[in-house]
Amino acid sequence: MKVMFEQIKHNMETIEGVAIYPILSLLIFFVFFVGLGLWVFSYKKETINELSQIPLRDNQIV
């Protein structure tokens, strides 16, 4: 296992500009979850209440 990790590490070190990929993945992850949080908190309370009642309705086609 250790030999495999060292081989991968050596291969990654020889690639020029590889350091940008962890930064980009962290940025994409952060932007996605901040955007998701803003989207969730921007919902109106009336809309959330209406959506939460959908499973409780009887004999209604949605």
How far apart, in Å, are the Cα atoms of 52 and each of 3, 14, 24, 47, 58? 53, 53, 36, 9, 14
pLDDT in tens, 1-45: 677 778 777 777 777 887 888 899 999 999 999 999 999 999 899
pLDDT in tens, 40-51: 999 899 998 998
Tell me which amino acid residue 14 is: T
pTM score, whole prediction: 0.56
How would you class 17 by CB atoms within 10 Å of its CB: exposed for 0-12, middle for 13-18, buried for 19 or more? exposed
